[in-house]
Structure 1
């Protein structure tokens, strides 16, 4: 993660802010947590297990956010630790299998739970704290898959699409209370989770995939000619939760090197 960090001085514009970042143990989530820490925020992260890339300055909580009880317990721990919440980054997500669109079994339910309902449940638990503080910011991590879903990722794309609609509606509902709600839609980003998912998909399809993120196979149809890095997403989130984005709400920012525009 440190190799993707920007060298420019990050302004301490989040001093005194209390932030929660789910899925914050590695990859995009860890980069976001570190970016908020660098800007002066106090951060609590959640994931099933910590990793070497988990920011040491953040409070890590082991949690299963795919279940109502897991979200409820994490929210209670975060509020106890921070004394309140000003920023919520719903980054938890992923897939554990790649079912057919016609296989309406537990993998579909799991995808909806972890990629969509985890955010709905966590927001419900933490928004009262934001109201008490007079405002806050909620960020949802969506996906390029909502624009161009692979058949084996349809369950993931459908859950993220639901998150996009929820993002818009929640923004309108909470705006009068000074709470902004925004989403970020990453394109092809080099992360450990993405690597693992790609390997599983390639095995299921019986094809070989080059894991070098700088290879033509990865860059493919990205107009800017490179794959994204976790820090690209973290910098966008750092802006969106800052006072500089005080008039931004209800929108989804695509960070995909121009990939969506090229479709």
Structure 2
């Protein structure tokens, strides 16, 4: 039984902290992270390509395409001008949209777009927001990678390669910045049932003429099964983020934390 809804949250743990979470809308991991860190008292800014209809605080939202140079420049400029920087940066944005059919169907543009979204967006934002962290001698950076970096397939090879590069970059960055007071870690989620995943499962169910639960199980089986017997919830990934950005994790540096219910069976 999952008891994350009953976790006691200290509403002052992150009080005074300025946080940027990329891709924090549309019912995904980013939105769950925004809500969790906000409950801990942080001031959380987020981004998305489109402005959500239910937006309540325009000051804490930046409309930008993070996969482009102009988009990241817009985000960095806004953060520096309005907030003077951030104390915590969560590079959450990631997606795979390469066509099916193997490597011969994937163009240079497909590869570039995948790397722009899943690697270079984080690199550019880090580069723009690290200087204020260095000046204050404190900061936390989290990169959301994926267990797919260990499971490359013909239709996800670009995504898997980009996430593998992000994990490698994250490790190197952690080594460089740790002596300067900035902690860098990464999180590798497994099959997480976000709104986007729910839509995928619903499409599969319709195409196969089966139930939602049967379609979900088929996806789980395609990963070799999930030992814990269920998919992850976005809030569970958010809880890992909340721990890693807090002072409770002050000695954790340069580590990738897998949260996948046991899918990855290698050491």
TM-score, length basis structure 2: 0.87
Q: After TM superposition, list the pairs within 5 Å mapping 1:216-227 onto structure 2.
A: 216-220=217-221, 221-227=225-231
Q: Which residue of 2 aligns with 1:124?
A: 127
Q: Give me the whole-angstrom Cα distance separating, in 1, the residues matched to 2:130 and 2:59.
A: 21
The size of the alignment, in residue pairs, is 257
Alignment pair present for 1:9 and 2:27: no
1:147 positional shift: 1.1
Q: Which residue of 1 aligns with 2:265?
A: 261
Alignment pair present for 1:85 and 2:86: yes
8 Å CA contact 1:218, 1:227 repeated in 2: no
Q: Give me the whole-angstrom Cα distance separating, in 1, the residues matched to 2:197 and 2:216.
A: 15
TM-score, length basis structure 1: 0.88
Alignment pair present for 1:36 and 2:37: yes
1:117 positional shift: 0.2
Q: Which residue of 1 aligns with 2:71?
A: 70
8 Å CA contact 2:98, 2:111 repeated in 1: no
8 Å CA contact 1:213, 1:219 repeated in 2: no
Q: After TM superposition, list the pairs within 5 Å mapping 1:114-153 onto structure 2.
A: 114-153=117-156
Q: After TM superposition, list the pairs within 5 Å mapping 1:86-235 onto structure 2.
A: 86-99=87-100, 100-102=102-104, 103-196=106-199, 211-212=212-213, 215-220=216-221, 221-235=225-239
1:105 positional shift: 2.4
Which stretches in structure 2 are left out of the alignment for 5+ residues? none
8 Å CA contact 2:201, 2:216 repeated in 1: no
- String of CA shifts for 1:90-140, please: whole Å, max 9, x gaps: 011112332532333211110000000000000000000111221110000
Question: Structure 2 vs 1, CA of residues 56 and 247 (structure 1 numbering), >3 Å: closer, same or farther?
Answer: same
1:81 positional shift: 2.8
SS of alignment partner, residue 13 of structure 2: coil
Q: Give me the whole-angstrom Cα distance separating, in 1, the residues matched to 2:135 and 2:202.
A: 45
Which stretches in structure 1 are left out of the alignment for 5+ residues? none
